[in-house]
Chains A and B, each alone.
Chain A
Amino acid sequence: MVKRIRLFIAALVMSLLAAAGFAQGQKSVVLNFWYWDQNGEEVYKQAITEFEKVNPNIQINMMIIPWSDYWTKLQTSLPTGTGPDVFWLNHPNAVTYMPTGLLLDLEPAAGQIHFENFEKNFYAPFTSNGKRYGVPLFYDSIVLFYNKALFDKAGVKYPTDSWTWNDYFDAAKKLTVKKDGKTTQYGTIAESDPQSGISNFIFQNGGSIFSSDKMKCVIDSPENRETVQNQLDLIYKYGYAPPIQEVRESGASTMFQSGLIAMMPYISANLKQYAEVLGKDLGVAPLPKQKQKASVYHNLAYAASAKTAHPTETKAFLAFLASKRHAEILSKVWSPCFKDSAELYFKEYSWLDTKYITEAITYGHALPISGKNAGQVYTLLGNELDKVYANPQVGTGLANVQSVINAQIAK
């Protein structure tokens, strides 16, 4: 037994020594780059290889961090200066991080980065006090996905870009199939999610969730109550959409990909997976309009740490990340923000009217966020809207949401 223990300890010591070798210093400058999407591994490997060839003295150490704990890890490491030099940032967290001084001000590097290659809408959410902190990365908008096979079976014409809510509701009616009192196929879904669901319809009806200075929640208005009631009616009055609990249990995407839902307003980012499963049966259309066209868009950006030990190299890397070449590489997986690059992404899905995804930006509303603690408010908004959707009548639902949200903003 003692011999075995000695063997163990020997193996342990040897492997630890080997592992410690990893922690040795490198001759060139090493930049840490963090992001959260496994799907990007191949393209980033390629991008980094190209960058390192041109900049042999810089080495990029890329790390994919699980989405569930990305912000926890960022929060723990960024203030200590041992975190990433460049990392992904989204709208709500941009609002949280910008006032802390932990993000690198990119204005001095504007000459290298060339922000003019991006739409203002893409870097505006990453701007604070006139200073820009983020290099736009890729975006997504909300579009209407639909299942052509189910439309054909019901004899319903595909959605067009002149659809109004009435057309939308009509189609949903014809696409809902009931058997023995149970619904086996729903025409559409009514989602309470602030990005892919209700917000789009609120904007289409001319309402808004937050005031223009983004400091107050104004969701309780007559137009909004009308909008929400319409959505609730889809579920409770007409049965064209599944109850929200069912959507939460089984997952909207899974239901759509199984052919249980005929059309679904959802994030364009899921295009790849939907196309994989539905193939030629997948269709993309713009959301229906009411008083106006509207779609919620969101984009990510590269941000840098203010505490980086290598600001020059970081800026050089950011300059590369803002280049057209990088957008070309990215277009294999996502729709880049770089002007006119999104078409490269959509080339692969030529049978889909992917132009609607890009078009949606023109009438797009940024992700509804508000207040100084935007991330928290956004999460709370989702929670409160979920509660509203559990009831067939709007009632005082929106008033509740408004008071809770305003209380949170005030904190």
Chain B
Amino acid sequence: MNHKMHYALFRGYAMSSIRNRHIRWKNMCWALLFAGPTVFGLYLFFIYPMFKSVYISLTKWDGLSSPQFIGIANYVQLLSDPTVGKELFNTAFFIVLLVPITVVLALLLASAFDKRLPGTGFFRTVFFLPYVMLPVVTAQIGMTMFNSKFGIINQWLAWLGVPAVQWLTDPWLVRSVIVLMNLWAGIGYYAIILLAGLQNIPRQYYEACELDGASAWRKLTNVTVPLLTPQLFFSVVMATIGAFKMFDFIFVFGKSNLYARESLRTMAYGIYERGFTFLDIGFASAEAVVLGAFMLIITIAQNMSQERWVYYS
């Protein structure tokens, strides 16, 4: 193979530049070798089962007997069900609140972690710890700490003269508690992610900035953020998808506490409840399809916005 063709192989984005059939074929073979196992695995174990789910959404099924085909009746019911409306609202609420705050805080944290000071390893571990803990236990801890009569938080507030706050029963307060807990458990994850990205930013850029007398904030906005956009994009997409799927804490909070459950229920929780507690798997699948559609639309929109703000070298 001559150098020209070889070079053309690595052209990168512009597909139209590769007109040579031979090279296209070669590329496809390489792509199959490199990406084949992962793509095939994902399709087989995740996407193909989802198709079955889509079919189930058109039936009435309790998981034990045979499914009965009922067409789009589930979807029609979805549109008129007030509980689903509440779930939609809560899902949107958590996304809008969690995604920006998580990413921004994680960014600040990551830049604090990007120092070779002796204690940094300890700090990174402290913030990463909540992510490692089993969600069930984290939720238990949360419920105990925010208990309105005996929890630590209210005990401290009592010292400051604040009357007992109904953290777990007031609708908006319990939502804030969930946001706080998700932040507590999630920031470490994104901070480590962004830290990995920070490691590949050449020191020269920072040093050049310092020579110009730039402040820490300037360095952050002019050097760090632009060069970190690939990882920031990853974080935004993943945080959004994660917020869409939020389930664990809500499940534990709501298990024995109806009042918390009703204020917190998201679509992911509704899917679980409809499918496994009420054995209305058809309806649950329909809700899952709708949730998936929302996620897909938002992810595609985010993907299209890449050109505007993500900077790859």
Contact = CB atoms under 8 A, between A and B. Distances in A.
Decide if A and B touch, CB cutoff 8 A.
Answer: yes
Interface of A: 68, 71-72, 75-76, 78-79, 96-97, 99-100, 102, 245-246, 248-251, 373, 375-376, 379-380, 382-383, 386-387, 390, 411
5 contacts: A75-B63, A102-B64, A248-B257, A249-B257, A250-B147
Q: Sort A-B residue pairs by CB-CB distance and give the 7 closest, nearest first.
A: A386-B258, A248-B257, A376-B278, A100-B64, A245-B169, A75-B63, A249-B168
Contacts of B149: 246, 249-250
A246 B257 CA distance: 10
A382 B277 CA distance: 13
A71 B277 CA distance: 9
B94 to A, nearest CB: 22
B276 A248 contact: no
Given A72-B276, A373-B279, A383-B258, A249 B64 contact: no
Contacts of B199: none
B65 interface: yes
Could you tell me the dominant secondary structure of chain A's interface residues?
helix
Given A248-B258, A386-B258, A96 B64 contact: yes
B256 interface: yes
Contacts of A383: 258
Contacts of B62: 96, 373
Nearest to B259: A245
A169 B169 CA distance: 28
Q: Which of A79, A250, A387, A390 is most buried by chain B, counting CB atoms within 10 A of its CB?
A: A250
B169 A249 contact: yes
Contacts, number: 61
A337 B87 CA distance: 43
In this complex, the member of B147, B255, B258, B259 whose beta carbon has the largest number of chain A beta carbons within 10 angstroms is: B258
A99 B65 CA distance: 9
A71 B256 contact: no
Contact of A250 (B65, B150, B258): B150
Contacts of B279: 75, 96, 373, 375-376
Contacts of B148: 246, 249
A251 B64 contact: no
Given A249-B148, A250-B149, A97 B64 contact: yes
Nearest to B143: A249
Interface of B: 62-65, 143, 147-150, 166, 168-169, 255-260, 276-280
Given A75-B63, A96-B64, A250-B147, A379 B258 contact: no
B154 to A, nearest CB: 11
Contacts of B276: 71-72, 75
Nearest to A245: B169
Given A68-B255, A99-B65, A373-B278, 13 more contacts: A76-B63, A79-B64, A96-B279, A245-B169, A248-B259, A250-B147, A373-B62, A373-B279, A375-B277, A379-B278, A382-B258, A386-B259, A387-B258
Contacts of B143: 249
Contacts of B280: 376, 411
A68 B260 CA distance: 18
Contact of B65 (A76, A100, A248, A387): A100
B161 to A, nearest CB: 15
A249 B147 contact: yes
A72 B276 CA distance: 6
Q: Which of A68, A75, A76, A249 has the most CB of B within 10 A?
A: A249
Given A249-B168, A376-B279, A390 B150 contact: no
Contacts of A411: 280
A325 B259 CA distance: 45
Given A376-B278, A379-B277, A379-B278, A248 B256 contact: yes
Contacts of A75: 63-64, 276, 279
A386 B149 CA distance: 20
A383 B262 CA distance: 10
B277 A78 contact: no
Contacts of A250: 147, 149-150
A383 B256 CA distance: 10
Contacts of A78: 64
A79 B62 CA distance: 12
Given A245-B169, A375-B279, A251 B256 contact: yes
Contacts of A71: 276
Contacts of A99: 65
A387 B258 CA distance: 8
A80 to B, nearest CB: 11
Nearest to B261: A383
A102 B62 CA distance: 13
A390 B257 CA distance: 12
A102 B256 CA distance: 30
B179 to A, nearest CB: 19
Contacts of B169: 245, 248-249
A373 B283 CA distance: 15
A387 B257 CA distance: 11
Nearest to B273: A379
| Best-surrounded residue of B64, B150, B260 (most CB of chain A within 10 A) | B64
Contacts of A79: 63-64
Nearest to A375: B279
Contacts of A375: 277, 279
Contacts of A97: 64
Contacts of A72: 276
Nearest to A246: B149
A369 to B, nearest CB: 14
B187 to A, nearest CB: 27
Contacts of A246: 148-149
Contacts of B147: 249-250
B216 to A, nearest CB: 35
A248 B258 CA distance: 8
A76 B62 CA distance: 11
A79 B293 CA distance: 30
Contacts of A248: 169, 256-260
Nearest to B277: A379
Nearest to B63: A75
